[in-house]
């Protein structure tokens, strides 16, 4: 299995809703990442988990709350989002090594906040 699986593929939520994005990989990668991508822009890092511990938080607002329940799963909990948070949310994973293996990306969750 060489894939990163993200669910759901599409999500529409109101500003008062609470929702979660899910990411799963079974490649034995020990680092997992959340990226946000706006239209016609490159992905921007939000969070990094290494060995299930949060290692990097790129000053992301607290309405985004990451969670890594185990080495294969990564969640992103969403609460009280704003319309400007609408974007493609990408999960990625990478393998430990001298330079790290390629970062493998999922297909993303397209989030629309209304």
The binding site for other proteins (CB under 8 A) comprises: 4, 6, 31, 33, 40-45, 48, 50, 55-56, 58, 88, 90, 92, 94-108, 110
Neighbouring C-alpha atoms within 13 Å toward the C-beta of 113? 18
Identify which of residues 23 and 113 has a Cβ nearer to other proteins in the complex.
23
Identify which of residues 46 and 113 has a Cβ nearer to other proteins in the complex.
46
Residues 6+ away with beta carbon under 8 Å from 82: 15, 63, 113
Identify which of residues 63 and 103 has a Cβ nearer to other proteins in the complex.
103
Q: In angstroms, give the least distance from the CB of 83 to other proteins.
A: 21
Distance CA 97, CA 107 (A): 24
């Amino acid at each position: 299995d060489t894939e990163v699986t993200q669910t759901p593929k599409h999500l529409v939520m109101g500003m008062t809703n609470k929702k979660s994005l899910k990411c799963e990989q079974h490649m034995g990668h020990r680092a997992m990442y959340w990226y946000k991508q706006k239209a016609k822009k490159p992905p921007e890092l939000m969070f990094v988990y290494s060995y299930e511990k949060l290692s990097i938080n790129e000053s992301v607002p607290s309405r985004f709350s990451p969670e890594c329940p185990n080495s294969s799963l990564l969640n992103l909990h969403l609460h009280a989002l704003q319309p400007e948070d609408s974007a493609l949310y990408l999960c990625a994973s990478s393998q430990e090594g001298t330079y790290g293996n390629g970062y493998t990306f999922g297909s993303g969750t397209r989030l629309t906040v209304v």
